[in-house]
Chains A and B, each alone.
Chain A
Amino acid sequence: MSQPFRTEKGGRINRTEQLTFTFDGEELQGHQGDTLASALLANGVHLVGRSFKYHRPRGIVTSGSEEPNALVGIYRHGDQTPNLRATQVELYQGLEAISQNRFPSLGFDVGAVNDLLSPLFPAGFYYKTFMWPKAFWDRVYEPVIRAAAGLGKPPKTPDQDTYGNIYAHCDVLIAGSGPAGLAAALAASETGAKVILCDEQSEFGGSLLSEVSASIDGKDPSEWIAETINKLEQMDNVTLLPRTTAFGYFAHNYLALAERVTEHLPNPDPKLPRERLWQVRAKEVVIASGAIERPMIFPENDRPGIMLAEAGRTYLNRYGVKVGHKVLVAAACDTAWQTAFDLADHGVEVAGIVDLRETPPENLMAIAKARGIRVEAGCMVTGTLGRKRVKAALLGRMMTSGNVASGGQISCDALLMSGGWTPTVSLYSQSRGKVVWDSDKGAYIPGASVQRERSAGASKGLYGLQEVLEDGYAAGEEAAKAAIGKSAKVSYATATGGEAGTGGTLGALPHDRNASRVKAFVDYQNDVTAKDVKLAVREGMQSIEHIKRYTTTGMATDQGRLSNMNALQIASDSLDRPVTDVGLTTFRLPYTPTTFGLFAGVARGDYFDPVRKTPSHDWVVENGGVFEDVGQWKRTWYFPKNGEDMHAAVARECKTVRESVGLFDASTLGKIEVVGPDAAEFLERLYTNPWKKLAPGRCRYGLLLNDAGFITDDGVIGRLAEDRFHVTTTTGGAPSVFATMEDYLQTEWPELDVWITSTTEQYAVAALQGPKARDVLAPFMEGVDLSADALPHMSVKEATFCGVPCRLFRISFTGELGFEINVSRRHGKMMWETLAKEIEKFGGTAYGTESMHVLRAEKGYIIVGQDTDGTVTPQDAGMSWAIGKKKADFVGKRGLDRPDLVADNRKQFVGLLTKDPKVKLEEGAQITTAENPAIGTPADGHVTSSYFSPALDRSIALAIVKNGHALEGKTLYVPMPDGSIPVEVTGPVFYDKEGARLNV
Chain B
Amino acid sequence: MSDLMASDLITPDAGEPPLLSINEVSILKAAPLTRLSLRLREASLKAAGSAFGVDLPVLPLSSATADKRAALWMGPDEWTLFAPENTSQSVVSDIEGKLGAEPHSLVDVSERSEAIIVSGQRAAWLLNTGIFVDFSIDTFPVGTVSRTIFHKSPVMVWRIGDEAFVVEAWVSFMDYVSGLLVQSASELSAA
Contact = CB atoms under 8 A, between A and B. Distances in A.
Direct contact of A and B (CB under 8 A): yes
B113 interface: yes
Contacts of B170: 760-761
B66 to A, nearest CB: 24
Interface string B112-131: 11000000000001001111
A137 to B, nearest CB: 42
A269 B188 CA distance: 11
Interface string A238-275: 00000000000000000000000000000001011100
Contact of A613 (B78, B104, B153, B172): B172
Contacts of B180: 602, 607
A762 B111 contact: yes
Given A610-B172, A675-B107, A824-B111, A272 B190 contact: yes
A271 B179 contact: no
Contacts of B130: 165, 167, 602
B189 A677 contact: no
A610 B171 CA distance: 11
B1 interface: no
B42 interface: no
B191 interface: yes
Contact of B39 (A609, A611, A755, A762): A755
Contacts of B183: 602, 607
Nearest to B106: A675
A610 B32 contact: no
A628 interface: no
A271 B151 CA distance: 20
B2 interface: no
A632 to B, nearest CB: 8
A757 B109 contact: yes
A602 B112 contact: no
Interface in A723-769: 753-763
Contacts of B133: 167
Interface in A612-647: 612-614, 632-633
B172 A755 contact: no
A870 interface: no
A168 interface: yes
A762 B173 contact: no
A825 interface: yes
Contacts of B55: none
Interface string A487-501: 000000000000000
A935 interface: no
Contacts of B175: 610-611, 613
Contacts of B173: 610, 612
Contacts of B184: 164-165, 602
B110 A166 contact: no
B179 A607 contact: yes
B110 A762 contact: yes
B111 to A, nearest CB: 4
Given A271-B190, A611-B175, A164 B105 contact: no
A675 B105 contact: yes
A998 B128 CA distance: 54
B125 A166 contact: yes
A993 interface: no
Contacts of A612: 172-173
A196 to B, nearest CB: 13
A169 B136 contact: yes
Nearest to A612: B172
A762 B109 contact: yes
A536 B170 CA distance: 60
A604 to B, nearest CB: 11
B179 A761 contact: no
Nearest to B169: A610
A271 B187 contact: yes
B151 A602 contact: yes
Contacts of A673: 105, 107
Interface string A675-686: 111100000000
Contacts of B105: 673, 675-676, 754-757
Nearest to B172: A612
B173 to A, nearest CB: 5
A610 B152 contact: yes
B186 interface: yes
Contact of A603 (B39, B125, B129, B152): B152
Nearest to A672: B107
Contact of B113 (A168, A607, A678, A761): A761
B110 A824 contact: yes
A167 B132 contact: yes
B109 to A, nearest CB: 5
Name the residue in A167, A194, A676, A754 with the highest tally of chain B Cβ atoms < 10 Å from its Cβ. A167
Contact of B152 (A609, A759, A760, A762): A609
A161 to B, nearest CB: 12
B104 A607 contact: no
Name the residue in A675, A756, A763 with the highest tally of chain B Cβ atoms < 10 Å from its Cβ. A675
B37 interface: yes
Contacts of A271: 186-187, 189-191
Nearest to B37: A757
Contact of B179 (A166, A167, A606): A606
Contacts of A153: none
A167 B135 CA distance: 10
Given A167-B132, A759-B107, 11 more contacts: A164-B129, A269-B190, A269-B191, A272-B190, A609-B152, A610-B152, A753-B41, A755-B39, A757-B39, A761-B171, A825-B112
25 contacts: A164-B187, A166-B128, A167-B129, A167-B131, A167-B132, A194-B136, A271-B191, A279-B132, A602-B180, A603-B151, A603-B152, A606-B176, A607-B176, A611-B176, A633-B172, A673-B105, A675-B105, A676-B104, A677-B101, A753-B41, A757-B107, A760-B112, A761-B111, A762-B111, A763-B111
Interface of B: 32, 37, 39, 41, 77-78, 101, 103-113, 125, 128-134, 136, 139, 151-153, 170-173, 175-176, 179-180, 183-184, 186-187, 189-191
Interface of A: 164-169, 194, 269, 271-273, 279, 281, 602-603, 606-607, 609-614, 632-633, 673, 675-678, 753-763, 824-826
